[in-house]
Structure 1
Amino acid sequence: MIRARIGVYHQYLKEYFRVFPASQILVLKLEDYSKEPAEIIRKIFEFLELSAFPPEKLSNFTQSKKPANSRRTNDSTIGPMLPETRRLLQNFYWPHNEQLGALLGKTFNYNLDEMN
Structure 2
Amino acid sequence: MLQNNKGFTLIEVLIALSVLLSAVSVIIPTITLLHQEKHVLSDRRAIAFHLHDEMQPFLWEGTNSSSALFYEKIQNKQVTFQFLTENEYIKGCASWKNVKEIKETYCLYGLPQR
Q: Report the TM-score when normalising by structure 2.
A: 0.22
Which structure shows the higher strand fraction? 2
Which structure shows the higher helix fraction? 1
Q: Give the greater-gyration-radius structure (CA).
A: 2
Q: Which has the higher contact order (CA 8 A, sep 6+)?
A: 1
Q: Report the TM-score when normalising by structure 1.
A: 0.22
